[in-house]
């Protein structure tokens, strides 16, 4: 009985981290789908989100709801600004040039945070004050509940947005064929900006949930979830939104189970190992479409 | 030697003589500066890291620049070489130079064995997928080293003889030159042309009978060999190895050197590697702002490299070259 409870608890832990990974991975995947670039600075948007939440609640003492909305707005705006300044001039450049620029942006955000907030970790109390619930023998904390609900709402909302609205179909059209989309009268620049804004807003939500869980702020806090989420996006098939969700959740569960039952130190190796195996069997991820190349 | 190099023009010989002169001049200047004690401690401590980064950048240049495959796991091969070499020299009891030579050979070979094992399955992937899988392998190598007993785990492997300091500059310099020479010659050989053909259009390359998989693996293995060599020098320069020093940030650091140097340009990689290693030291007076400045320089250079201004310069140069070729033909 206790073994099953243990496994269930680990599954819930895994789903919690997995939800955060999924939220970040969606941002990676959307940006990749539309701009064909790996946005290495995406992880640092999480960090910016966490720090802005800290500034709004602990320093400016705003109510939690207002702080959350402002944080999301700050990150969405940052996403648009970064795209305009650093990525837009490189739209026709080789993809490696864009990749390096994204790495530069990532360093820039990290070091700006380092200058403003210094390297010492800042303790941060969670803004989520909901008591947990008990299901049989399993405790589910308030943060976990909020994470599940927030992620589910975001995913459903995003799926509806992408599939049902005009803006959403514009996004899909641009990611399929940018040139043809612009001939159909779609404003490509606006659509790309919107994608970056949505991706960054999701990263902000992920940052808020992450910081409520780990309760300590550091300029490099976005790097690790960022890279894990990137792996999740590739695992699910990069460019594919349901794939990113699936990849994120799977990655969280695998990580949590191997940390608990195999080895804490080898958990990362196992996560990457799964990625390698999946890619060797399905070279474009779990839900990615196979493309045949023509001469 | 291939057939085309038989008919070398005087201009080509001039270039070779010039390269030899530059190599000797750099060596002479460095020896004078080191022996004369003209450098501060900070500067002497950065000489060997410069050499290591040049080796890493040139070896990665073969993969990213000439084979055209983006890999983010170079630090993994460097760490394999470093650990293999250091464990061996810790075990051996011989004169330092002999130990170092054996360690380097072992480090390079073990790194290339790993490259074969990893490369055979992985090189079927392309583009961003290959990048993420090599990143994954780099991280797997790091966490396995982290969890093993005999590598010292997270505490690190210490007690490595510091044989490769600036006092042994000559030794390291020889290996840097050997690395550059071998890779440059490979690139300009028949095999090198096959590698660039794979980069430019692998379907066409396959159609004219180039074994794409074999050349990809070959480039991968050679690149890993030199990364392993650089790793062994690194181990004997710092004296202590920690898995945390070989994470994907290190791989990205090397990649940045290659890209800033202009992909597929060995000279550029060398210069970029030296500048990017010196830059943080030079900016040390700016203390807190140096990494910020570094990131701004990085973004600005990438934007400039792809700006209309730069493209216009390149076009002008190409037109001039075309005109010259036309004149020669007449």
Q: Which of B125, B256, B306 sits opposite A93 (nearest CB)?
A: B306
Looking up tokens 């990364």, which residue turns up? B227
DSSP A290: P
Residue B4 pLDDT greater than 60, yes or no: no
A234: domain range?
2-118+137-281
Q: Tens digit of pLDDT for each residue in A231-247?
A: 999 899 888 888 999 99
Query: For B20-49, what is the mean pLDDT?
Result: 84
Looking up tokens 């009268």, which residue turns up? A185
Which residues of chain A neighbour B136 with C-beta distances below 8 Å?
A: 231, 272-273, 275-276
Q: Is residue B324 part of a domain?
A: no
pLDDT of residue B3: 44
Tell me if A103 and B125 make a contact (CB, 8 A cut-off). no
Integer CA distances (angstroms), B13 to B5, B10, B234, in order: 11, 5, 35
Q: Tens digit of pLDDT for each residue in B241-289?
A: 999 889 888 998 899 888 888 777 899 999 999 988 888 787 777 767 7
Q: Is residue A291 part of a domain?
A: no
Q: Is residue A22 part of a domain?
A: yes
Tell me if B306 and A90 make a contact (CB, 8 A cut-off). yes
Is residue B131 within 8 angstroms of chain A, CB to CB? Answer: yes
Task: Give how many domains chain A has, as a whole number.
Answer: 1
Integer CA distances (angstroms), B144 to A183, B131, B155, B285, in order: 52, 20, 14, 38
Binned at pLDDT 50, 70 and 90, residue A294 comes out as: low
Is residue B289 within 8 angstroms of chain A, CB to CB? Answer: yes
CATH number at residue A184: 1.10.3470
Q: Is residue B131 part of a domain?
A: yes
Angle formed by the axes of helices B190-200 and B169-187, nearest 10°: 70
Tell me if B259 and A100 make a contact (CB, 8 A cut-off). yes
Which residues of chain A neighbour B121 with C-beta distances below 8 Å?
A: 280
Query: For A253-264, what is the mean pLDDT?
Result: 89
Which residues of chain B neighbour A279 with C-beta distances below 8 Å?
A: 125, 129, 132-133
Q: Which of B125, B153, B306 sits opposite A279 (nearest CB)?
A: B125
Residue B2 pLDDT greater than 50, yes or no: no
Q: Is residue B100 part of a domain?
A: yes
Interface test with B, best of A29, A35, A39, A97 (most B CBs within 10 A): A97
Distance CA B52, CA B84 (A): 17
Q: Tens digit of pLDDT for each residue in A26-55?
A: 998 999 888 888 888 999 999 999 999 999
Q: Tens digit of pLDDT for each residue in B215-232?
A: 999 999 999 999 999 999
H-state helical runs in chain B: 10-35, 41-61, 74-91, 96-122, 127-147, 169-187, 190-200, 202-207, 212-238, 248-260, 266-282, 290-305, 308-329
Q: Which of B129, B256, B260 sits opposite A283 (nearest CB)?
A: B129
Query: For A151-157, what is the mean pLDDT?
Result: 91
Percent of chain B with pLDDT over 90: 36
pLDDT of residue A62: 86
pLDDT of residue B276: 87
Helix (H, G, I), strand (E, B) or coil at A218: coil
B148: domain range?
39-266
Q: Is residue A288 part of a domain?
A: no
Task: Give how many domains chain B has, as a whole number.
Answer: 1
Q: Kindly report which listed range (A92-101, A222-231, B1-10, B140-149) carries the lowest average pLDDT score.
A: B1-10
């Amino acid at each position: 009985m206790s073994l099953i409870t243990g496994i269930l608890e680990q599954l819930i832990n895994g789903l919690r981290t997995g939800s955060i990974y999924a939220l970040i991975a969606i941002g990676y995947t959307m940006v990749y789908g539309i701009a064909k670039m790996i946005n290495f600075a995406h992880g640092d948007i999480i960090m910016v989100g966490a720090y802005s939440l800290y500034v709004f609640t602990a320093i400016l003492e705003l109510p939690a709801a207002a702080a959350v909305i402002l944080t999301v707005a700050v990150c969405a705006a940052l996403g648009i600004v970064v795209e305009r300044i650093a990525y837009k001039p490189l739209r026709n450049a080789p993809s490696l040039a864009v990749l390096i620029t994204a790495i530069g942006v990532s360093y820039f955000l990290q070091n700006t945070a380092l200058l403003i907030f210094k390297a010492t970790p800042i303790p941060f109390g969670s803004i989520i004050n909901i008591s947990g619930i008990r299901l049989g023998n399993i405790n589910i904390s308030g943060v976990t509940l909020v994470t599940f609900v927030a992620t589910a709402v975001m995913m459903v909302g995003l799926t509806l947005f992408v599939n049902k609205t005009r803006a959403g179909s514009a996004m899909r059209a641009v990611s399929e064929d940018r040139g043809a989309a612009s001939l159909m009268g779609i404003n490509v620049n606006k659509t790309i900006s919107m994608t970056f804004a949505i991706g960054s807003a999701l990263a902000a939500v992920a940052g808020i949930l992450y910081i409520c869980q780990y309760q300590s702020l550091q300029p490099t806090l976005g790097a690790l979830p960022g890279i894990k989420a990137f792996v999740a996006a590739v695992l699910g098939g990069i460019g594919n939104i349901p794939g990113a969700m699936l990849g994120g959740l799977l990655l969280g569960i695998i990580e949590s189970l191997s940390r608990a039952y195999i080895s804490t130190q080898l958990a990362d190796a196992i996560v990457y190992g799964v990625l390698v195996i999946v890619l060797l069997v399905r070279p474009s991820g779990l839900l990615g479409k196979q493309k045949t190349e023509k001469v | 030697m291939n057939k085309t190099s038989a008919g070398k023009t005087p201009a080509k010989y001039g270039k070779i003589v010039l390269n030899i002169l530059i190599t000797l001049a750099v060596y002479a200047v460095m020896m004078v500066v080191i022996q004369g004690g003209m450098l501060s401690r900070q500067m002497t401590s950065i000489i060997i890291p410069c050499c290591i980064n040049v080796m890493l950048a040139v070896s990665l240049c073969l993969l990213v620049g000439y084979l055209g495959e983006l890999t983010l796991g170079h630090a993994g091969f460097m760490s394999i070489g470093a650990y293999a070499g250091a464990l061996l020299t810790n075990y051996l009891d011989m004169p330092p130079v002999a130990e170092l030579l054996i360690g380097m050979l072992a480090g390079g070979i073990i790194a290339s064995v790993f490259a074969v094992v990893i490369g055979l399955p992985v090189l079927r992937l392309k583009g961003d997928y290959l990048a993420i899988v090599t990143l994954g392998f780099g991280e797997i190598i790091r966490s396995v080293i982290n969890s093993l007993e005999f590598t010292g785990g997270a505490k690190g492997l210490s007690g490595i003889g510091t044989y490769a300091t600036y006092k042994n500059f000559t030794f390291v310099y020889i290996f840097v030159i050997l690395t550059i020479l071998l890779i440059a010659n490979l690139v300009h050989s028949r095999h090198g042309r096959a590698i660039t053909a794979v980069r430019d259009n692998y379907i066409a390359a396959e159609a004219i009978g180039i074994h794409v998989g074999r050349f990809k693996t070959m480039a991968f293995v050679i690149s890993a060999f030199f990364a392993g060599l650089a790793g062994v020098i690194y181990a004997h320069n710092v004296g202590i190895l920690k898995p945390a020093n070989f994470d994907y940030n290190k791989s990205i650091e090397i990649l940045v050197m290659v890209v800033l140097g202009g992909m597929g340009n060995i000279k550029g990689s060398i210069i970029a590697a030296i500048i990017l290693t010196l830059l943080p030291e030079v900016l040390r007076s700016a203390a807190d702002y140096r990494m910020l400045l570094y990131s701004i320089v990085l973004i600005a250079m990438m934007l400039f490299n792809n700006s209309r201004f730069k493209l216009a310069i390149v076009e002008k140069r190409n037109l001039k070259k075309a005109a010259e070729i036309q004149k020669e033909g007449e």
